[in-house]
Amino acid sequence: MRVVVSGGSGFLGSHLCEALLRRGDRVCCLDNFSSGRASNVAHLLRLPGFVCTPCDVTARFRVTGDVDTVVHLASPASPRDYQRHPLQTMAAGSRGTENLLELAVRNGARFVLASTSEVYGDPRAHPQDEDYWGHVNPIGPRSVYDEAKRYAEALTMAYRRSRGADVGIARIFNTYGPRMRADDGRVVSTFIRQALAGEALTVHGDGSQTRSFCYVDDLVRGLTTMIDSPRTGPYNLGNPAERTVRELAELVLLITGSHSPLRPLPLPVDDPVRRRPVITRAHEGLGWHPRVPLEEGLRRTVDWFAAQPDTLPRPPDRPTVGRPS
C-alpha cells in the first residue's frame, strides 16, 4: 500500500512510518516540523519507498500519485506544545482533519484518525471504555487539544455517514519510548531527563494521580492493525496497567540508578486524576493488546535518552545508567 502519514516526523509518527516501510508499504510523510523533528525520519530518506513533504495540513497541500490509506497524526500532542500553540492545535483538529478526509475520499482510501484519551477529559467514570462520553472543560487550558480531537472524531463520523468514507478512530492513551523530545513536558520524558541529569524529579500534586503507559512499539502495532482493518471503532489503544505518577518516578530512579529527590509542584488545571483504558473492544475487534511491560519499555527508553549527547546535560557526577538486579 501507499500510506500518507500526517505528522510523520513526530515521536509516534516516525515509528509508524518506520513500521510501515519495514513491512513493505510506501510512505508519504507530511509535516511542518512544529513539534516533530526532521532527525526522526532522516534515516528513512535513503529508502526508495519513503517521501517526506514539508507542508502544513491545515493549509493547501498536494499529494500526487495513488493513496491507499491516510493516517492523521498531525497535532501538537503534549500539554506544553498545545498550550504554546493553541490556535494551531485547533486548526490541526478541524481544518487539518477535513483536508485529510478530503484526500482520502478523493482517492477512495481508508482514513485513520489518531484521537486521544483526552476526549474523556478528567473522567468521572473509571476505567474508561469507548461508550463513555467524557468530562471535558470546554474553556479550560487543555480544551484546545481535548475539543480539537472531539471535533475531529465528530467530523470523521460525519464523513462516514454523509460521504461513505472508510474511516477508523483510535483513542490513544499515554505512549512513551525512544524519540520523545526531552523538553516536551510529558511525564516520562521529564522524569528520565531529570534523573539522568541528577536533577530533582518534579511530581505534580502528591503523585497519587494515575496514568496507563503504553510502549510505542505496542501502540504502533495497534495503528497498523487499524490500517488493515475495515472496522470504524472508536478503539481505545493503551496499556490497562494503571500506575501512579509517584510509582513511575520511583521506577525511573531505580532504572537510571539516580538518587535524585522528588520535588512536589501544584497540579495543573483540569489535570485528569485517573486514567485507565478498557481495551476489550480492541482485543476482540482487532486482536490487539499491549505486550511490553512498563519496566522493560522504560529501560529501552532510558537507554535511548542516555545515548543522546545533544539532548541531555551530563554533569560529571551523573550516575551510570544501569539495570536493577
In a domain, 189, yes or no: no
Residue 297 within a domain: no
Which residues are designated catalytic? 145
pLDDT reported for residue 79: 87
> What is the Cα–Cα distance from 191 to 302, expressed in whole angstroms?
10
**Of the given ranges (182-196, 226-240, 305-319), which has the lowest mean pLDDT?**
305-319
For residue 143, the enclosing domain spans: 2-176+213-237
Give domain status of residue 243, yes or no: no
Instruction: Report the number of distinct structural domains present in the chain.
Output: 1
Residue 99 lies in a domain: yes
Distance CA 6, CA 181 (A): 18
Cis-peptide into 127, omega within 30 deg: yes
Mean pLDDT of 93-112: 98
pLDDT reported for residue 268: 87
Note whether residue 294 is domain-resident: no
pLDDT tens-place string over residues 67-89: 999 999 999 998 899 999 999 99
- Is the omega angle on the peptide bond into residue 277 within 30 degrees of 0, that is, cis? no
pLDDT digits (tens, 9 = 90+) for 233-273: 999 999 999 999 999 999 999 999 999 999 999 988 888 89
* pLDDT for residue 317: 37
Q: For residue range 10-66, what is the model confidence (pLDDT) as tens digits?
A: 999 999 999 999 999 999 999 999 999 999 999 999 999 999 999 999 998 999 999
Which cell numbers hold the place of 66?
Answer: 495513488
pLDDT at 308: 87
In this structure, are residues 15 and 21 in contact, taking their beta carbons and an 8 Å threshold? no
Which residues make Cβ contacts (< 8 Å) with residue 34, sequence separation at least 6?
76, 85, 88
Q: Is residue 207 part of a domain?
A: no
For residue 70, the model assigns a pLDDT of 98
What is residue 52's three-state secondary structure? strand
Q: What is the CATH classification number for the domain harbouring 146?
A: 3.40.50.720
pLDDT more than 90, % of the chain: 90
> For residue 197, how many C-alpha atoms fall within 13 Å in the half-sphere facing its CB?
18
Report the candidate in 81, 78, 79, 61 with the shortest Cα–Cα distance to residue 70: 61
262 part of a folded domain: no
Asked whether residue 271 is domain-assigned, the answer is no
Q: Judge residue 53's burial from the number of C-beta atoms within 10 Å of its C-beta, 0-12 exposed, 13-18 middle, 19 or more buried.
A: middle
Q: What is the pTM of this model?
A: 0.93
Predicted local confidence at residue 312, as pLDDT: 54
Nearby residues of 143 by Cβ (< 8 Å), 6 or more positions away: 136, 137
